[in-house]
Amino acid sequence: MCHQNKAGTIFGLVYRTWQRERNVVESDVQQALKAFTSRFCDAWHEAYATWPQSEELYGVPSPCIISTLQDKVIWQPQPFEPAADLSAVERAMDIVLRADIHPFYTTQFAGDMPAQFTGEALTLLQTWSEDDFRRVQENLIGHLVTQKRLKLSPTLFIATREDELEVISVCNLSGEVVLEKLGTRQRAVLAPTLSDFLSRLEPRV
């Protein structure tokens, strides 16, 4: 449950406004992603009385930036505009991606969010800007090209781990969220669906 503080209240109003403006029915993934983002922002406000801050994103333009400090930026999630999907990845790889992976990367602009899943640390990847979205698509294509070359079933990464050889991905065949070791067949199922995975994430601040 989100903390009912100033940040959480404002954040909820922001998301409800997005939904009214777009007049769309949100998918389970969109709802779960927004709910986790709200928990993440609430945790920052509770711990530091501020929206999330990032040193890594300092100097990188984004509609999310609400303030720039000496060596960091303060950011707030923003609606992903104009609307987009991962069809460029599908065309490049001649593949049909699972419907739930599209909204993961195209629901909002936001910074990457440190989190934990069943006690294991990870960083949930997000799209920072339109330019970053192009980079994300290029990286997804590169990931899929490598898997095709190694004759591995396709996955789409959604989070990183401290070990650079480990990523958390969505299996494009089953929809399961898996922990995989890059370049190998080593995969461990973490959750049956992306929305289930997101709903069980806990923020790290």
% of the chain at pLDDT higher than 90 = 87
Least confident of 2-11, 96-105, 128-137, 179-188: 2-11
Residue 12's pLDDT is: 54
Domain of 125 in residue numbering reads as 6-203
E-strand ranges in the chain read: 53-54, 65-68, 73-75, 78-79, 108-109, 113-117, 120-124, 155-160, 166-171, 177-181, 187-191, 202-203
Judge whether 145 lies within some domain: yes
Whether residue 55 contacts residue 25, with contact meaning beta carbons closer than 8 Å, is answered with no
The type of residue at 87 is S
**Is the predicted pLDDT of residue 10 greater than 60, yes or no?**
no
| pLDDT tens digits, one per residue of 174-200 | 999 999 999 999 999 999 999 999 999
* Burial of 49 per CB tally in 10 Å (0-12, 13-18, 19+): exposed
Q: Residue 47: which H helix or E strand, with range?
A: helix 28-48
| pLDDT tens digits, one per residue of 78-126 | 999 999 999 999 999 999 999 999 999 999 999 999 999 999 999 999 9
Count H helices and E strands in the chain, helices first: 6, 12
Average pLDDT over residues 63-90: 96
Average pLDDT over residues 52-80: 97
Judge whether 1 lies within some domain: no
Q: Which residues, at least 6 apart from 35, have a Cβ–Cβ distance to it below 8 Å?
A: 2, 198, 199
What is the torsion angle, in degrees rounded to the nearest 10, for the CA atoms of residue 140, residue 194, residue 27 and residue 9?
-100
Judge whether 170 lies within some domain: yes
Residue 21's pLDDT is: 44
Judge whether 163 lies within some domain: yes
Least confident of 10-14, 15-19, 56-60, 175-179: 15-19
Band of pLDDT at residue 26, cut at 50, 70 and 90: confident
Residue 23's pLDDT is: 42
Total count of domains within the chain? 1
E-strand ranges in 15-79 read: 53-54, 65-68, 73-75, 78-79
Record the pTM: 0.87
Band of pLDDT at residue 1, cut at 50, 70 and 90: very low
| Domain at 121, CATH number | 3.40.1580.20
